[in-house]
Amino acid sequence: MVPLTRMKLLRLLLLAAMLALLLFISSLWLPQGGVRDCGGSWQPCLKFYRQTPLLVPEEGAEAPPLIPECPGQSFQAGRLLRYLKSSLENADDVLLEPYLQSWDQLLKFMESLGTMVGFFSHKVKEKVALIRELSLKRSLEAHGKRGPPDRSGLQIGANRSVRSMVEAELKDGVVDFSRRTDSGCRTLLRLHRSLLWLKLMLEGLADGPDADGRYRTPGELSRAAYMVALAPHHPWVLRQAAELVFLALPDRRYFLQLVCVRSQREATPVLHAIINALALVHTQTQRILAEHDMLELP
């Protein structure tokens, strides 16, 4: 009987420890006293600001809403929208430099949500940096000692756009369809999937309440988006780790502050403008990758 009792005790202690960990992570987003500029290392950092009034377009108007700069925070929704639109300058392509600049803003958005979201943002940041590194390397090789006309290697040449990068890497035999390689195409595919996750999450934030008047929490929305966009490509261990991230996400009000609005009504046109731009970029990238059978690169 003694071994059995000890086993039960160990199980209870293990369950208690897991519960305490989950409660600790969840509590990190609870208000901690008065208003502060920035939280601790485990908390989001968002300075409160005096907001410029948001221009909400009339029903049926095609003009996007005026998105003001938000003093005191690194993520700027207006800049994100501008970069996304700039990447679609060509009708059948996506320009890489503004595409990566869009990711710079999306990374700031993710990092504003706290250290726990680093589970996603760290890998995304590595992929953005890798595409820039590969672009510069290719540009240096193409121009030799003269050096590239631009420091990024993204304004002209093979890596100017998604389509030109795909075609150049296929021509050079850089892409491997049977094993993992650090090609720009494979890296872009991973960013492409993450872009879908963010788009789906923002779509949920733009939605109204359900029949009972309840808004879905950001954690619920992120989990649902993750199951569609990223979970099918992640092993079991990563899927379980992602659950902790969803528990640690802040409430809806915090997300609204990030896009510089004070209410769900003000947020809707801003979120729709960003979502539409994300959808266009995602669709165009999807089309290019699909044309070359690159949607399942290992």
Q: What is the mean pLDDT of residues 5-14?
A: 56
Residue 282 lies in a domain: yes
Is pLDDT at 150 greater than 70 in this prediction? no
Residues 6+ apart with CB under 8 A from 194: 120, 124, 229, 230
Q: 116 or 268: which carries more pLDDT confidence?
A: 268
> Considering its fold, how many domains does the chain have in total?
1
Whole-model pTM: value is: 0.76
Residue 28 lies in a domain: no
pLDDT computed for residue 68 by the predictor? 78
Residue 36 lies in a domain: no
pLDDT computed for residue 187 by the predictor? 95
Residue 194 sits in which domain range? Answer: 64-291
Residue 18 lies in a domain: no
Continuous segment of H or E residues that includes residue 282? helix 264-291
3-state DSSP call for residue 45?
Answer: strand
Residue 103 lies in a domain: yes
Q: Residues for the chain: how many in total?
A: 298
Tell me how far apart the alpha carbons of residues 105 and 280 are, in angstroms, rounded to a whole number.
17
Residue 269 lies in a domain: yes
pLDDT computed for residue 81 by the predictor? 95
Q: How many CB atoms lie within 10 A of CB 283?
A: 11
Residue 27 lies in a domain: no
Tell me which amino acid residue 90 is. N
Q: What's the CATH code of the domain at 108? A: 1.10.3520.10
Residue 169 lies in a domain: yes
Lowest mean pLDDT among 3-7, 189-193, 288-292: 3-7
